[in-house]
Structure 1
Amino acid sequence: MAVSANRLELLQIADAVAREKSIDRMVVIEAMQDAMEKAAKGRYGAETEIKVEINPRSGETRMWRLLEIVDTVEETSRQIELKHAQIKNPTAKVGDFLTEPLPPMEFGRIAAQSAKQVIVQKVRDAERDRMYEEYFGRIGEIVNGSVKRVEYGNVIVDLGRGEAIIRRDELIPREMFRYGDRVRAYVYDVRREQRGPQIFLSRTHPQFMAKLFMQEVPEIYDGVITIRSIARDPGSRAKIAVTSSDSSIDPVGACVGMRGSRVQAVVAELQGEKIDIIPWTDTIADLVVSALQPADVAKVVLDEQAERIEVVVPDEQLSLAIGRRGQNVRLASQLIGWDIDILTEQEESERRQKEFTERSTLFMRALDVDEMVAQLLASEGFSSVEELAYIDANEIATIEGFDEETAGEIQNRATEYLAAIDRAFDEERQALGVDDDLYEIPGLTAAMLVALGKDGVKNVEDFAGCAADDLIGWSERKDGETKRFEGTFKDFPVSREEAEDMILAARLKAGWINAEDVPEAEEGDVVVADDADEATA
Structure 2
Amino acid sequence: MLKPDFIKALDQVQEEKGISKQSLLSLVESALATAYRRAFNPPDAIRVQVDPGTAEIAIFGRRRVVEQVSDPGTEVSLDEAKAARPGVEPGQVVEVPLPTDDFARLAAQISKQVVFQRLRDAEKEQVLRDVLEHKGEMVSGVVERIADHSDGKTVYLELGKAEGVLAPEEQIPDEVLRPGQYLKVLLLDERKRGRGAQVNVSRAHKALVRRLLEFEIPELQSGAVIIRALAREPGVRSKVAVSAHQEGIDPVGACVGPKGVRIRSVVGELGTERVDIIPWADEPERLVANALSPAQVSRVEIDRESRTATAHVPDNQLSLAIGKDGQNARLAAKLTGWRIDIKPEPAGAAEANASAVAGAPPPGDAAG
Normalised by the shorter chain, which TM-score bucket? 0.5 to 0.7
Q: How does 1:262-411 map to 2 (within 5 A)?
A: 262-271=262-271, 273-346=273-346
Runs of 5+ consecutive residues of structure 1 not aligned to the other structure: 351-537
| One-letter identity of the residue aligned with 2:138 | I
Change (3 A) 1:99 1:35: same
Kindly indicate whether the alpha-carbon contact (under 8 Å) linking 2:3 and 2:55 is maintained by their aligned counterparts in 1.
no
TM-score relative to the length of structure 2: 0.68
Hey, what does 2:59 align to over in structure 1?
65
Is the partner of 1:61 in helix, strand or coil? coil
Greater RCO, 1 or 2 (C-alpha within 8 Å, sep 6+): 2
Offset at 1:180?
2.5
Among candidates 49, 52, 57, match of residue 49 of structure 2: 52
Is the partner of 2:346 in helix, strand or coil? helix
Kindly indicate whether the alpha-carbon contact (under 8 Å) linking 1:70 and 1:82 is maintained by their aligned counterparts in 2.
no
Whole-angstrom distance in 2 between the partners of 1:97 and 1:247: 83
Change (3 A) 1:106 1:222: farther
Whole-angstrom distance in 2 between the partners of 1:340 and 1:91: 86
Change (3 A) 1:113 1:344: same
Whole-angstrom distance in 1 between the partners of 2:314 and 2:229: 27
Instruction: Point out the structure with max Rg over C-alpha.
Output: 1
Is the partner of 1:289 in helix, strand or coil? helix
Is the partner of 2:155 in helix, strand or coil? strand
| One-letter identity of the residue aligned with 2:288 | V
Offset at 1:32?
3.6
Hey, what does 2:237 align to over in structure 1?
237
Offset at 1:299?
0.9
Asked if residue 140 in structure 1 is aligned to residue 136 in structure 2, the reply is yes
Between Structure 1 and Structure 2, which shows a larger proportion of helix residues? Answer: 1
Kindly indicate whether the alpha-carbon contact (under 8 Å) linking 2:46 and 2:62 is maintained by their aligned counterparts in 1.
no
| One-letter identity of the residue aligned with 1:171 | Q
Whole-angstrom distance in 2 between the partners of 1:178 and 1:162: 19
Kindly indicate whether the alpha-carbon contact (under 8 Å) linking 2:162 and 2:197 is maintained by their aligned counterparts in 1.
no
Change (3 A) 1:49 1:168: closer
Offset at 1:209?
1.0
Between Structure 1 and Structure 2, which shows a larger proportion of strand residues? Answer: 2
Change (3 A) 1:325 1:183: same
Whole-angstrom distance in 2 between the partners of 1:252 and 1:81: 90
Is the partner of 2:334 in helix, strand or coil? helix
Q: How does 1:56-135 map to 2 (within 5 A)?
A: 60-66=54-60, 88=84, 107-108=104-105
Change (3 A) 1:197 1:283: farther
Offset at 1:200?
3.4
**Identity %, equivalent residues:** 32
Alignment RMSD (CA, Å): 4.9
Hey, what does 1:8 align to over in structure 2?
5
Whole-angstrom distance in 1 between the partners of 2:43 and 2:219: 65
Is the partner of 2:285 in helix, strand or coil? helix
Whole-angstrom distance in 1 between the partners of 2:122 and 2:72: 36
Q: How does 1:447-462 map to 2 (within 5 A)?
A: none
Kindly indicate whether the alpha-carbon contact (under 8 Å) linking 1:64 and 1:100 is maintained by their aligned counterparts in 2.
yes
Whole-angstrom distance in 1 between the partners of 2:81 and 2:192: 47
Is the partner of 1:241 in helix, strand or coil? strand
| One-letter identity of the residue aligned with 1:61 | A
Whole-angstrom distance in 1 between the partners of 2:33 and 2:251: 64
TM-score relative to the length of structure 1: 0.49
Hey, what does 2:211 align to over in structure 1?
211
Offset at 1:236?
3.9
Kindly indicate whether the alpha-carbon contact (under 8 Å) linking 1:301 and 1:309 is maintained by their aligned counterparts in 2.
yes
Q: Deviations over 1:51-73 (max 9, x none)?
A: 23364xx7x41323346698879
Is the partner of 1:327 in helix, strand or coil? helix
| One-letter identity of the residue aligned with 1:346 | P
Among candidates 132, 147, 150, match of residue 146 of structure 2: 150
Q: Deviations over 1:198-232 (max 9, x none)?
A: 74322121111122233344554566654332122
Change (3 A) 1:39 1:150: closer
Aligned length in residues: 340
Offset at 1:241?
1.5
Hey, what does 1:529 align to over in structure 2?
none
Q: Deviations over 1:349-398 (max 9, x none)?
A: 79xxxxxxxxxxxxxxxxxxxxxxxxxxxxxxxxxxxxxxxxxxxxxxxx
Q: How does 1:469-484 map to 2 (within 5 A)?
A: none
| One-letter identity of the residue aligned with 2:48 | K
Hey, what does 1:485 align to over in structure 2?
none
Is the partner of 1:334 in helix, strand or coil? helix
Whole-angstrom distance in 2 between the partners of 1:35 and 1:115: 8
Change (3 A) 1:78 1:183: farther
Q: Deviations over 1:293-315 (max 9, x none)?
A: 23322110123333322111233
Whole-angstrom distance in 1 between the partners of 2:5 and 2:82: 38
| One-letter identity of the residue aligned with 1:336 | T
Change (3 A) 1:142 1:78: farther
Runs of 5+ consecutive residues of structure 2 not aligned to the other structure: 351-368
Kindly indicate whether the alpha-carbon contact (under 8 Å) linking 1:48 and 1:65 is maintained by their aligned counterparts in 2.
no
Q: Deviations over 1:84-120 (max 9, x none)?
A: 6665466999999768597787744x66666677667
Whole-angstrom distance in 2 between the partners of 1:187 and 1:165: 10
| One-letter identity of the residue aligned with 2:4 | R
Whole-angstrom distance in 2 between the partners of 1:138 and 1:81: 63
Kindly indicate whether the alpha-carbon contact (under 8 Å) linking 1:143 and 1:185 is maintained by their aligned counterparts in 2.
yes
Q: Deviations over 1:162-212 (max 9, x none)?
A: 444323443234432222222221234555349789743221211111222
Offset at 1:327?
3.5
| One-letter identity of the residue aligned with 2:49 | V
